[in-house]
Structure 1
């Protein structure tokens, strides 16, 4: 899969939070239950967007997490950069450590323009746009649950 599990879960959580009223704090436990995601892992994943200043967090009774920036200011590319770094757009398709214009693998010339298009495409979708679709935020969890390998 193109997106790591961490990216998938973080994306689902951010879409979920973007759909909440701006002043509404959501407990990670409730969000995990609603999305069908592991609570402890989701709690760890939420830390990166919080450190980036995207989320406000409050501990204790009545605490939780909420989006504190405009969802339109966060792109899908931003989210993937936060969770996976440059893995999606910079890694060699064949997994080679030394693969660039000077020491290219056999796929480099074909993969380079695709990576560029991918980067531009991911930057064209905001969190607000993703949150405004009719798809449920937990869609990836449902797909994972129904996935069966091809025989």
Structure 2
């Protein structure tokens, strides 16, 4: 006879806990990602409706300078380009749908020189950079 007594009966199988823990972690991560997305969408929406004043400036001593800078037209980010033969130079624009992360690049030609660029947003956020020499580049970005 092959009867099992309580002493010889195998213990009941243990339920695995790790799949449930993993599922809870994934659910919490998905909820956190959704919350972050909602906050970012609200911030972008608020930024897109306000008018922002951006001022670009270049100073220094150089005769062959090329400027490349971000411009905002409606909801599109585009690039402006300008070649200068003398400094200083300044440009301003008022825009809606401003997105952070613009760039302003000042490139010197083969004749070299010294330049400094700056970008100011709403008289607050300011980025600056300098460059010297032939084909040098100063980049003001992240404004």
Tell me whether the two structures share a fold, i.e. TM-score over 0.5.
no
Query: TM class by shorter-chain length?
Result: under 0.3
Which is greater in Rg?
Answer: 2
Name the structure with the higher strand share: 2
Name the structure with the higher helix share: 1
Higher relative contact order (CA 8 A, sep 6+): 1
TM-score, L = length of structure 2: 0.22
TM-score, L = length of structure 1: 0.21
